[in-house]
Structure 1
Amino acid sequence: MKILVVDDDVQLGRLIGSMFGQLGESEVDCVEDGHEGLRRLRQAAYDLVLLDINMPAMSGVDFAVELGQLQPGKPCIFVTAAASEMAQAAMNVAHEAGVRMLGTLHKPFTLEQLDTLLQEVRSAA
């Protein structure tokens, strides 16, 4: 499975990449902003996008709207430290834009929580 992680926190992006590696996923690309993430999506086929909601320049919500236009139905997981209500509102917007939202990982999250959402992607493939 090919995974794209879009998070402005470089260290967290590396940690998430390492977590995916522990779960048997080695094809993980990490980028620091939404514009670069969209560029990567235009160049390569990804099976899953893990996306920070709060980023400078392009928010995760704005990215999700673009993603819905670019690749409708793309599986996506939000990552956030925001309140549950804000995360749910972001998920609703992304869903309305055509993104297949699998859930939200609230920072800090565990390997088991990531694995649970990853299993959903694997079973749908």
Structure 2
Amino acid sequence: MSMEIFMKSPTGRTICLRVNPTDTLSTVKAKIQEQQRLVYNGVQLDDNLTLADYNIQHMSTLDLQEKMQIYIKETLVGTTITLEVDSLDTIGNVKAKIAYILRAFLWINNASSLPINS
């Protein structure tokens, strides 16, 4: 039994799709042929789950969020780190993600330079 759902892009464009409740989100993404994240009621949707798993029903609207990557040059070691962010992330969110990644990166580098006790 097929149903129609709507997807709204960050630019306000709305797309109507005919889908089945058992379609996976990766199937739905393939239908729109865009590399974007799908969000429903504020929750990012997992590609491997179905529309029924999220209780997405006839005439539901999904939001499309653009994926973006930013590159951070870590100057102490000289390594470039890639960070995936959302178009809706605030500067504060991005700074928090950068801080988290850099702490993990520096911890791994410091831990790998420590001598191992035999």
The answer, yes or no, to whether TM exceeds 0.5 is: no
Please state which structure has a larger fraction of its residues in strand: 2
Query: Who wins on radius of gyration, i.e. which is larger?
Result: 2
**TM-score range for the pair, normalised by the shorter chain length:** under 0.3
Normalised TM-score (structure 1): 0.23
Please state which structure has a larger fraction of its residues in helix: 1
